[in-house]
Amino acid sequence: MAVGVVPLLIFITLPLHLVIWLGSVVIWVILLIKANQGLMYKLPFIGDLAEKQANA
């Protein structure tokens, strides 16, 4: 019985996937614009990790 419910999870998770994808595209475009302007922009949380790895 539970196996029949699993394919229906796409209808629940699809909006979440779309929101995450759209947010990723928006952040990507913003970072592209900042890089094109020659500005350094660091994302919260991920920026610190990337900076540590780049300086290593």
Q: Which domain holds residue 34?
A: 2-55
Reported as a pLDDT band with limits 50, 70 and 90, residue 4 is low
13-18-19 Cα angle (round to 5): 100
Between 9 and 20, the more confident residue is 20
pTM of the model: 0.64
Arithmetic mean of pLDDT, 23-48: 91
The two structure tokens encoding residue 7: 């394919």
The total number of structural domains in the chain stands at: 1
Arithmetic mean of pLDDT, 10-29: 91
